[in-house]
A and B are shown apart, each in its own frame.
Chain A
Amino acid sequence: MPKATEKKTATIAPSSPPPAALGQADDGSGVNRRSFFSWLSIGWLAFIAATGGFFTMMLRFFFPNVLFEPVQTFRAGYPDEYQVGEVDLRWKGEYGVWIVRNDEGIYALSTVCTHLGCTPNWLATEQKFKCPCHGSGFRKTGINYEGPAPRPLERFRITLSDDGQIIVDKTKKYQQEKGQWGDSEAFLKV
């Protein structure tokens, strides 16, 4: 920058020494007003970067790499372990899944109420899922029909492994109101 150079030479010209009161002392230490400001901005940038980095660390700290939770995908035994017309409760506690078999096949229902996330109970005598928190009711298919739940229960991906066991994959969900229950892996034909 030629302009800056001109200015500098003008300031330190020996013929016109700057008055000390103006604070333009050039004692050879290399710090003048201009370089002071660039050092200041470098300092501020470093401070902001360090602070930002620290807050990023704090934020990331709350998301652990290992979760001590049941796995999202699990083997649920062989299809002939499930009776036609029954709601199977054996995976409810650990994985939060009901496995239901009807005449045509098997589907995996999520045990999470679509109202506010409580766990409904399967009432075999009344053939419905009933949520104890706010009274939502769902039919065996998962379709909501009473109480505040706004939409049917979700279904999970259900497939067969090579050895013929059922595999339930909770990372993929199918919602009836989006027309996804017709997808090939939302329902296991047996």
Chain B
Amino acid sequence: MAEKKSLLKRLAEGQVWTSIFRGGGVPKSRRQRMMVVLNSVFLHLHPVRLPKHAVKLKYTWCMGGLSFFLFLILTISGILLMFYYRPTIEYAYTDIIDLTEQVPFGIMREIHRWGAHAMVITVWLHMFRVFMTGSYKPPREFNWAIGVVLLLLTLLLSFTGYLLPWDQLAIWAITVGSNMARATPFLGSEGPGAAMLAIGDINFVTVASDVRFALIGGRFLGEATLLRFYVLHCIGLPFVIMIFMAVHFWRIRKDGGISTPV
């Protein structure tokens, strides 16, 4: 009779465990622990080791981490909201009322809204911290540029989500916001250079063919705008921001770790 092994040990040596987690059982040496991180698709985006001083709260404020945490909360609560919300003029507003008033744990909607406000704040504060500690300097300058794109995507997510309740505040805020797109050089119907893109009396950049039209799907806000913003908010922008976030986190490791002089 072979010696009795504990259940935990048998589990750790079984095929199921070893096929998922390579490296031979419970890591014992420093090298094995490192391999655990490097062999996981999720953990490998993260640095293997962190210097103690680099994660001091008073130095990093944890604003990048908090932004990501809020992104996860927004993703989960957002998916839940999608089970009730219908992006049409007829239902959008009343579905939000239904969510807050009748649906069990309709506080999910408030979590999504407040989380969105909080994420915009933490992203700005993260940028401020990175600037003040000089963490944008070489070799991290490319990651700073990615961060600027992430800031822009965060603001666009905030902007597109703002329309979805379809109340007066939402409609007029997006009317005002999308009118800025009219002034885009060459691509906006009232922007500089747009008048040059014409043959005789025929203008190519008009209110029905400019960049603002592509955004809101009409000459003014309507059903098409609500649907376009919904798709951008729930699928398009999250898809893009996740790709940029993966590169952003991975580059922290590749560019010398978190907030350490290099």
Which residues on A are within 8 Å of B, measured CB to CB? 59, 62-64, 67-69, 96, 116-118, 132-133
B39 interface residue, CB < 8 Å from A? Answer: no
CB pair B209 A118 closer than 8 Å: no
B172 interface residue, CB < 8 Å from A? Answer: yes
Q: Give the residue name and chain of the A residue nearest to B182 (CB).
A: A117
Number of A-B residue pairs at CB separation under 8 A: 30
Known A63-B214, A116-B175, A132-B172; 10 more pairs at CB < 8 Å: A59-B214, A62-B217, A67-B208, A67-B218, A69-B218, A69-B220, A116-B179, A117-B175, A118-B175, A133-B172
B219 interface residue, CB < 8 Å from A? Answer: yes
CB pair B219 A116 closer than 8 Å: no
Closest 5 CB pairs of A and B: A117-B179, A116-B176, A62-B214, A117-B175, A118-B172
* Cα distance A132–B172 in the bound complex, in angstroms: 10
CB pair A63 B175 closer than 8 Å: no
Contact with A along B211-227 (1 / 0, CB 8 A): 00110011110111000
Q: Give the residue name and chain of the B residue nearest to A68 (CB).
A: B223
Q: Give the residue name and chain of the B residue nearest to A59 (CB).
A: B214
Contact with A along B148-183 (1 / 0, CB 8 A): 000000000000000000000000100110010000
Q: Give the residue name and chain of the B residue nearest to A132 (CB).
A: B172
CB pair A63 B179 closer than 8 Å: no
* Cα distance A67–B217 in the bound complex, in angstroms: 9
* Cα distance A171–B175 in the bound complex, in angstroms: 20
CB pair B176 A118 closer than 8 Å: yes
Q: Give the residue name and chain of the A residue nearest to B206 (CB).
A: A171
Contacting residues, chain A, for B223 (C-beta < 8 A): 68
Please report which residues of chain B, range 201-258, place their CB below 8 angstroms from some CB of chain A when the two chains form the complex: 208-209, 213-214, 217-220, 222-224
Q: 26 A-B Cβ contacts within 8 A?
A: A59-B214, A62-B214, A62-B217, A63-B209, A63-B214, A64-B217, A67-B208, A67-B218, A67-B219, A68-B223, A68-B224, A69-B218, A69-B219, A69-B220, A69-B222, A96-B220, A116-B175, A116-B176, A117-B175, A117-B176, A118-B172, A118-B175, A118-B176, A132-B172, A133-B172, A133-B176
